[in-house]
């Protein structure tokens, strides 16, 4: 999906903030896009699978210790995300939204849709989410997540 996003950004000459031409900002976006596969994506997806999909497919609730372990792993990745990538900036690459922010928030919505409100006790993360949603457009953001937000109704 990252390769497709980078292709689309270049093919359709999107605004520079999505994938900055400034090498330092672009490096920051690339750094996050590389890091997130084994961290936010892997840990968030694991929690989503553990809490929603496995019980849905098997008809059996998962042992609480497995869910707790998946949650702890995600919490470690979230702390790293806040400290390393967000720091005190509005967005990952600086003052404007980028592909890194879009990918990050989409990945974080999976555990949210599974019922884990990871923004609740993380004010920095919560504010960043608000800024990303505003930059994308709240209605578009909600429309994009409509199906996954209803996954528990299956």
Tokens encoding 39: 């961290």
Tokens encoding 99: 């592909």
**103 confidence band (pLDDT: 50, 70, 90):** very high
Note whether 14 and 99 are within 8 A (CB). no
- Alpha-carbon gap, residue 66 to 108, rounded angstroms: 19
pLDDT at 105: 95
Percentage of residues in the chain with pLDDT exceeding 70? 97
pLDDT at 153: 61
pLDDT at 16: 96
Domains present along the chain, CATH in parentheses: 26-153 (1.20.1050.10)
DSSP state of 23: H
**Cβ neighbours of residue 63 closer than 8 Å, sequence gap 6 or more:** none
pLDDT at 154: 54
């Amino acid at each position: 999906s990252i390769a497709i996003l980078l292709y689309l950004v270049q093919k359709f000459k999107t605004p520079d903030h999505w994938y900055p031409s400034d090498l330092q900002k672009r490096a920051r976006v690339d750094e996050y896009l590389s890091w997130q596969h084994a961290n936010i994506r892997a840990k968030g997806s694991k929690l989503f699978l553990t809490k929603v999909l496995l019980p849905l497919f098997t008809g059996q609730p998962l042992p609480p210790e497995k869910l707790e372990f998946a949650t702890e792993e995600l919490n470690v990745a979230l702390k790293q995300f806040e400290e390393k990538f967000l720091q005190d900036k509005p967005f990952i690459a600086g003052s404007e939204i980028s592909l890194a922010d879009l990918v990050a928030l989409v990945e974080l919505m999976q555990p949210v849709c599974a019922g884990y409100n990871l923004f609740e006790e993380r004010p920095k993360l919560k504010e960043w989410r608000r800024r990303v949603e505003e930059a994308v457009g709240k209605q578009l953001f909600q429309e994009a997540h409509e199906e996954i937000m209803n996954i528990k109704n299956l």
